[in-house]
Every structure is written in structure tokens, then in C-alpha cells.
Structure 1
Amino acid sequence: MTTEYALEARGLGRKFGAFWAVKDVDLKVRRGSIHAMIGPNGAGKTTCFNLLTKTLQPSTGSIILNGEDISRLRTSDVATQGMARSFQISATFTQMTALENVRVALQAGKGTAYRFWRPLGSIAHLNTRAMELLENVGLQDSAGVAASDLSYGKKRALEIATTLALDPQVMLLDEPTAGMGHEDIEPITELIRKVSVGRTVLIVEHNLSVVSSLSDRITVLQAGQILTEGNYAEVSSDERVIAAYMGGVEDAL
């Protein structure tokens, strides 16, 4: 790719009735970086995330992916353009095994996911790649375990594996450590660092220790608009950010 930025938002906005949930957001995510989006509750992070992934259509502005305007594309078309996302709530098929979940994602990437009447033997060749992806996220020993029986941390790892199955150039991770105990946060943080190699990652995350250890650059939202942007040292010392968090950022250092 020749463009410096893998993902951009230009004047991005979304209006619900008379209320602007996101307004005039200009965002540039540098290729090959891990870029975090943070902000207090109600700042518009999720809405902005949903706009970027086309879960919501923007009221104003444009979205540029790898130099191409994707503003009018459908959600299903965005994945074919090299961008995939995970969700704050784990989105796996609970009654399927870990291997089957990844295999379904691989089928989706190949456009064969919904050919239900094909014999299982016709997709057996996907098992090798599915096992490779499970190994990448440390779940090789859980391949035959139903997703519902996995620990919360392993469910998040499985979701990352299914996201990787789409072979995205740009990954958007929505609160990947939300609801985790301390024992799961560090492994998931290391996993994100590992899978980000050769990719661009945009992450929404409340845990500021995760943000500080992972992020190359941070965008802070407040009331649907960008408050400031910079590296962690710059952002965490900004008095406007400290005020927005009512002391939360300063206390987290």
C-alpha cells in the first residue's frame, strides 16, 4: 500500500434526531500502528466505531480505507475490503467447538459459509488453517471444546481467531478486555500485540494500563468530538483529558 494511513475519517458525524452522537471527527490511523480511542462514558466511542465499520451509516463525512472511500458500502462489503472487527460482547457460536467457529469464519472469507448441504469432507481442508489460527491465539488444546465451555478470556481469544480468519489488513477491537479478571488481561494484551504484527489496529478500550502498553497513538473523544490526540504521555498529562475523566487518567498513571 502506498497510502500512509490505513483508515481515515473526514468530518465524520452521526445525528439521532436533533442529537449529534458524533460530530466533525477527523481521524487518521497510521498503517502498521496500534491506535486507541478512549473517552469517558457517553463520549461517542461506540457510535464512532460503528460508523467506521459501517454498522451505522454516517450522517456527514466520509470514511477512507486504504485510500478508497467506503462511506456508502454495506457492512458485508467492508470485510472484503480488508477490514474486520470484534465486538464488546463475545460473538461466537456457543454450541460449536472452537475449531468449528474458526472454520465458519474461514468459510465466510471464502464465500462458502452458507452452503449448508455440502458434505463436511468438502471443507475438511480448512481444518489445517483453523488449527493454525487457534495455535496463534493459544487455543490449540481447546479445539474440540464448545465455545460455551471456554473461560471468558479464551472466548475473547477465540473471537480474535475468528477475526483473523478473515485475514484483515485493518482490525478494529471493541473493548477486548471488558469484563475480564486481572489474570486474563495480560494474556489478551500480549495476544493483541502479537496479532498486530503486519496489521493496523484500532482499539476502543477503557483499561488505561492496556492502552498505555499497547498504543502508538491515542485519540480522546468527549461529547462526540475529538478532544485531543497524541501518545500516552501527551494525552495523560493533558488537563482537558484529566478534567474529562474527573481525575481518572491522572490516578491511573
Structure 2
Amino acid sequence: MITHPTAAPADAGATRAVLSARGLAKRFGSFLAVNNVDIDVHHGRIHALIGPNGAGKSTVFNLLTKFLKPTAGRIVLDGTDITAMDPACVARMGMVRSFQISATFGDMTLLDNVRVALQRPNSLYHQFWRSLTSLDRLNRQAMELLDRVGLADMAHLRANNLSYGRKRALEIATTLALEPRVLLLDEPLAGMGQEDVEHMASLIKSVSRDCALLMVEHNLKVVGDISDEITVLQRGEILARGDYATVSADPRVREAYMGSEDDGH
């Protein structure tokens, strides 16, 4: 078994861990997909989870977001043990996740997409009998969120008319509408052109100031540019962790990940 590094960012003590996992493990039959993973995601910081294909990144992500139940280990959100909770309960506590496939309402305008997301925090989600005009009071909040992700001038376009990268930005706006304490992004840059990658990376950095942010990502350049801490997985276990300079200099990481992922990133 690999001994986990103990190094942490120098200013880690100045922040607080919003989401923590200890001894996280997941077994599928006889296959141990994740073994003894510890992770801390701090407020105002970006924590990247990387590793080669099959390293266990998606499994860890789904364990943390409660889409899978751990075989062993403990998950804590804001001081509350959420290990046995279902995803809906955890979402109400402020954990919000994205998916690899953009989840927007294509036939609705950008403004309406965000207004729908704003219904829950404004206690309107159960008042389904009301007309759409009853949501007009959410317009100011919705426009502020669209402006934050650079889409305010497109507010009245249908989501289907957006590029893939802009759809992901809209998705960020709808997640921010839920006022997340911790935001988990699953490959947020996948399938984007360079212009959209740069825009999204800047957006993710901006968003992280107001929440704890964990992302699974393959674009190593972006990981290096915006991440505060990185956890590298290999075969379901932690291979290395620290800032980008630390993990990129680790010969085990170069062999296991960077050397095998020669994708130009």
C-alpha cells in the first residue's frame, strides 16, 4: 500500500474544511475500486482530483456526492456526518454537483433556466400552480448570476443556441443559484475549445472564492493554473497530494499519469 504524503498547503490552517472524507473505500464484488482515501475541500480553495483512466476519480466523486454508498470510511459536510445520508438531503445542506453532460433546459431562455434554479432558495419550488409571471421577482437575481458567468447579454436566447462551453457556464449559473457551500464539478472543461476553456477556467476560479470547490479534471494545464491543492489517484489509492509544483515533480506521478496521458495538456 502507498504511504500517503503528509504535506499540506502552507496556508491550509487559515481555511476550514467544508467537506472531508477519511478512510473512504468502495468495493464492487471482489474489486476494490477505492481504498483508504482521505480528502479535505476547503472554503475559498480549488481542490483538483486527477489520475489516469481507471484511477478511481469518478468513484470517489460519486461517493462524496452520495450517488454511491461507501464500503468503508466517513464523509463529513460542515461538521455533520453525511455518510449514510441520501443525495437529496445532502443537496439541501449545500452540496451541489455538476455532471459531465451539460444539464440545461434547451428550449428555455437562459433567464428562465436560472429562474427555475432560483425557485428552491426562494421557497417557490412547491408553488407549481402559479403562472410564470410570478417568477418575475427573481429576474434581478437571475440577471446578476448570468452577469457573473458572462452571459447577461444572452439572457433572452434559448439555451439550445449556446456553444457547448457557454452551456457549461449557464450550468454554473444555475448551480450558484442554489447557494452552494461546496461545489463539485465533474470534468467541467471536457469537450471545449480553447476559448471556452479559458473562459471556464477563469469562471471556476472566480466561483471558488465563495465556496469550497472540488473538480475532477483531465486538463493538466488548467489544473496547474487554478488549483490550490491536487490529489492524484492511482488504482483507487492516493499516490500524491499537494500543490501543482509538488505533484508534478513527483516521479511516481510522472510515470503513472503525466507520462501516460500525453494529450498535449
User: TM-score normalised by the shorter chain: which range applies?
Assistant: over 0.9
Q: Which runs of 5+ in 2 are unaligned?
A: 1-13
Aligned-CA RMSD value:
1.9
Q: 1:167 aligns with which of 174, 179, 201?
A: 179
Determine helix, strand or coil for the equivalent of 1:180: coil
CA distance in 2, matches of 1:183, 1:120: 35
Residue identity in the other structure for 1:46: S
Retained in 1: the 8 A contact 2:33–2:236?
Answer: yes
CA distance in 1, matches of 2:168, 2:193: 12
Q: Within the alignment, does 1:73 sit opposite 2:116 as a pair?
A: no
Q: 1:209 aligns with which of 192, 209, 221?
A: 221
TM-score, structure 2 length as denominator?
Answer: 0.90
**Aligned-pair distance for 1:146?**
1.3
Corresponding position of 1:23: 35
- CA 1:249–1:212: 2 relative to 1, 3 Å: farther
**Aligned-pair distance for 1:62?**
1.1
**Aligned-pair distance for 1:163?**
0.6
Corresponding position of 1:181: 193
Corresponding position of 2:3: none
CA distance in 2, matches of 1:149, 1:185: 18
Alignment of 1:1-253 (within 5 A): 4-245=16-257, 247-248=259-260
Question: Percentage identity across aligned positions?
Answer: 58
| Equivalent residues, number | 252
Question: Deviation string for 1:66-98 (max 9, x for gaps)?
Answer: 111111111111122121111111011121111
CA distance in 2, matches of 1:149, 1:246: 36
- CA 1:84–1:47: 2 relative to 1, 3 Å: same
Q: Which runs of 5+ in 1 are unaligned?
A: none
**Aligned-pair distance for 1:248?**
4.7
Residue identity in the other structure for 1:194: S
CA distance in 2, matches of 1:246, 1:149: 36
**Aligned-pair distance for 1:4?**
2.5
Determine helix, strand or coil for the equivalent of 1:102: helix
Residue identity in the other structure for 1:87: F
**Aligned-pair distance for 1:137?**
0.3
Residue identity in the other structure for 1:129: Q
Determine helix, strand or coil for the equivalent of 1:226: strand
Corresponding position of 2:8: none
Question: Deviation string for 1:119-147 (max 9, x for gaps)?
Answer: 22322111111111001000011111111
